[in-house]
Amino acid sequence: MPFGEAVRVWARIAALSFGGPAGQIAVMHRILVEEKRWLGERRFLHALNYCMLLPGPEAQQLAVYVGWLMNRTLGGLVAGGLFVLPGFLSIMALSILYALYGELEPVGALFFGLKAAVLVIVVQAVIRVGSRSLRGPLMIGLAAGAFVAIYAFDAPFPLIILAAAAIGFVAGRSGWSPSPGGGGGQGGGRQAYVDDAQTLLGEDTPEHARPNLAWALRVAGVFLALWLVPVLALGLLLGWDDVFADIGLFFSKMAMVSFGGAYAVLAYVAQEAVETFGWLQPGEMLDGLGMAETTPGPLIMVTQFVGFMGAYRAASGIDPLAAGMLGGILTTWVTFTPCFLWIFLGAPFVEALRGARALNAALAAITAAVVGVILNLAVWFGLHVLFGQVSEAVAGPLRLDLPVPASVNWPSLLLALAAAVAAFGVRLGVIPLLLACAGTGLAQHLAGVV
């Protein structure tokens, strides 16, 4: 594959990468499999299944995987980097505007409308992932248990994921097998099946894609250093209580537990960024997600906004805007550097994982638990979007966030209901829904309603 052509194709994919992982994977499938015929259906799905097993954004990791297959390590770096670049630049620009002008009433009205749309989009994600994943009593029980654990007992997201994986692994070793669900989200309208033998890559494994222990050790050392040395340097130079050290450590930890996509990990990020670190107010998390929904690239780019605002508000001895930009860059670096590590280290050994029943069962269990976590995110967003006040009821280990009925935000509630009708009834797409709600929020401000 000529490298120049590969760069042009990956740039095109990056520019079209709207719509979350399902839309992004559909774009890659259409261009790489159906149009360019770089690889066939089976190889594409095999790569996707591996990426879904990993923490982090599966669409970006799939780009790294295919880029690596076609053009070795440099191809993977270019494919994964280009996939992130448009979203990184867009979120950085929007974060700067938000920090400078977010308090202006017209800007606030736009984000008021976006929050209602984002709430409906998260509910859609619960339904979409749940309908695909919750097949059988064990899967439903895991989802329910995960929701209760994180909503009622404030259980850490990583612990929920590890517990679900352990339950699934044991069940798989005992003979349980998850029922087949929906596929990898390529969408409808697929063209005729493309066999691997009919593609540029063919059926054979390229020489550079075969397992090599020496290569695995080298790549692990290089990318671990690229990932962790900056974090260690910040902690040692600035102190471990500095906001930049907090950002580096927190988002490095998130990169290791972000199974199930952005919607799942956002509950964990929101919990820590709002309640533990105080980087954001509850409603601002929705503003950031609205930015990520309306720009190209992985939805997990919302973490860049969180890192930006955390550094913008908490850094000392440096211009706030410069601190915010550095915080956004640091967050992006520690979020996505591990994605390259997982692919370059693990992809050559992927064949050894195929057909492992216990491993597949563990992955299915994680997916089920993620449904419960996303439901918690929807409830958390709903409480803070639809009500002005939320109280906490505590009884021993039980901690419940409950709305104060008298504080209901009627304009927000009505806009959210209208957005739900548009999304579920009219089946309005994500971008038109976000634009319509933002415009409605601005119109309500101009009319004096909000």
| Helix spans in 102-156 (H) | 105-133, 137-152
Return the percentage of the chain with pLDDT > 90, whole number. 46
Domain ranges of the chain: 3-177+212-403
Between residues 40 and 261, the one the model is more confident about: 40
Phi, psi values for residue 251, rounded to 5°: -75, -20
Lowest mean pLDDT among 46-60, 261-275, 347-361, 416-430: 347-361
Give per-residue pLDDT as tens, 13-31: 998 887 567 668 878 888 9
Give per-residue pLDDT as tens, 201-247: 887 778 888 888 898 899 999 999 999 999 999 999 999 999 999 99
User: What was the pLDDT predicted at 355?
Assistant: 59
Between residues 222 and 264, the one the model is more confident about: 222
Q: Is the pLDDT of residue 265 over 80?
A: no
Q: How far is CA 360 from CA 90, 157, 181, 311, in A?
A: 37, 21, 12, 40
User: What was the pLDDT predicted at 22?
Assistant: 65
β-bridge mates for residue 392, sequence order: 401
CA distance between the termini of the chain = 55
Decide: pTM greater than 0.85: no
Lowest mean pLDDT among 242-246, 353-357, 361-365, 367-371: 353-357
User: What was the pLDDT predicted at 52?
Assistant: 73
Task: Return the number of other C-beta atoms located less than 10 Å from residue 333's C-beta.
Answer: 18
Q: Which residue has the tokens 């929050």?
A: 115
Taking CB atoms within 8 Å and a gap of at least 24, the contacts of 182-189 are 182/131, 182/132, 183/45, 184/25, 184/45, 184/48, 184/49, 184/52, 185/21, 185/22, 185/25, 185/26, 186/25, 186/26, 186/29, 187/22, 187/23, 187/26, 187/29
How far is 46 from 49, CA to CA, in rounded Å?
A: 5
Give per-residue pLDDT as tens, 134-165: 888 999 999 999 999 989 998 877 788 889 98
Phi, psi values for residue 414, rounded to 5°: -65, -40
User: What was the pLDDT predicted at 186?
Assistant: 39
Mean pLDDT score, 152-179: 86
Cβ 126 vs Cβ 143: under 8 Å: no
Q: Is the pLDDT of residue 1 over 50?
A: yes
| Helix spans in 387-429 (H) | 410-420
DSSP helix/strand/coil, 189: coil
Q: Which of 78, 61, 92, 74 is nearest to 11 (CA)?
A: 78
